[in-house]
Structure 1
Amino acid sequence: MANTLAKGTRAPGFTLHVTPDQTLSLNEFTGRRVVLAFYPADWSPVCGDQMSLYNHILPEFRKHGAELLGISVDGAWCHQAFARERKLHFALLSDFEPKGDVAKSYGAYRSAEGVAERALFVIDEKGMIAWSYCSPIAVNPGADGILDALEALPPMEKKDGTAQNSHNVA
């Protein structure tokens, strides 16, 4: 498995295609939390299950102030077809050319196969990696680790300087 970037490391910036003619940059999320989900390929069974699970619990990520971004080496057209088929409601970013550059910068690239690792990162609002995990490639890592990492972060400050409670209140 790869040697993924660890907690406390500044998240490397990137700009990737989200559609064939539109890009998305990590710096567009400055001041917000981001979950990066690197995965090997759109149409593989494990990847499809993993992305569908994240789509299902997307409201939980957002409740904690986090946006989800999926990243693989597939092209933007492939991502569009996959997202449409799976009815995904989050951005899939194409780390296609130069192939795997962003995955490599996060220590999440499998050179022998030419695909991204199944690696997860929670980035805090200051752009620091708050949690990372690299799953065996054939194993869906689920979402518990992501949710635990988001819950462990301190409450985000609102624009008025007061704390925003991102946890569930009974």
Structure 2
Amino acid sequence: MSAHTLGSDAILSAGTLAPDFTLNATPDQKLSLHELRGKPVVLVFYPADWSEVCSDELALFNQALALILEGGATTLGISVDSAWCHQAFVAAHKLRFDLLSDFHPKGSVSSLYGAYDAEHGYCKRALFVIDAQGRIAWSYLSPTAINPGVDGVLDALESLKHS
């Protein structure tokens, strides 16, 4: 299923093979989703570094990181901000997980997941839990102004342990 066949408010759903991607984690280091195969991955798509709701959401994920790691999962934040912007944001907020830059071509990876808002030019606030085999186990699209928290992610990771 391509992003072009998704409705404007549809994100990829459970059971879908997670599209592979390679994005910058720093200005000179890239990370590919397939490198993480064999363990769960949490993708946190968010509109922008430095915005109030995004700062709160990413701080919550930072606080919950120990619980996410108990599920064996790697957490990755993704927005269209540059890798330079991400580095400053990570340092300022003492984040202990990578932020990936979907900067150029802008929104190309978030579009694959149905999580790009082309009208406004930023990522939608969407969460994905990908299982060890690379399939989406759980996904959630939140209104842009609402912090979705981490409970859904933690529940999905708990379900993976029992499947």
1:123 — aligned with what?
130
Equivalences for 1:79-158 in 2 at 5 Å? 79-155=86-162
Q: Which ranges in structure 2 are unaligned for 5 or more consecutive residues?
A: 1-7
Supply the distance in 1 between the matched residues of 2:118 and 2:136 (Cα, whole angstroms): 23
From 41, 53, 60, the counterpart of 1:34: 41
Runs of 4+ in structure 1 deviating by more than 3 angstroms, as ranges, are none
1:11–1:123 Cα contact (<8 Å) kept: yes
SS of alignment partner, residue 99 of structure 1: coil
Supply the distance in 1 between the matched residues of 2:148 and 2:123 (Cα, whole angstroms): 14
Q: TM-score, normalised by structure 2?
A: 0.94
Q: TM-score, normalised by structure 1?
A: 0.90
2:3 — aligned with what?
none
1:62 — aligned with what?
69
2:79 — aligned with what?
72
- Cα deviation, 1:35-67, whole Å, max 9, x if unaligned, reads 000000001000000001100110100001111
Q: CA deviation at 1:143?
A: 0.5
Confirm or deny that 1:45 pairs with 2:52: yes
Supply the distance in 1 between the matched residues of 2:162 and 2:101 (Cα, whole angstroms): 31
* Paired amino acid for 1:124: D
* Paired amino acid for 1:9: T
SS of alignment partner, residue 14 of structure 2: coil
- Cα deviation, 1:76-101, whole Å, max 9, x if unaligned, reads 00000000000000000000000000
SS of alignment partner, residue 79 of structure 1: helix
How much identity, in percent, do the aligned residues show? Answer: 59
Q: Which ranges in structure 1 are unaligned for 5 or more consecutive residues?
A: 157-170
Q: CA deviation at 1:2?
A: 2.4
2:71–2:161 Cα contact (<8 Å) kept: no
Q: CA RMSD in A?
A: 1.0
Larger Rg: 1
SS of alignment partner, residue 153 of structure 1: helix
Q: CA deviation at 1:155?
A: 4.7
SS of alignment partner, residue 25 of structure 2: strand
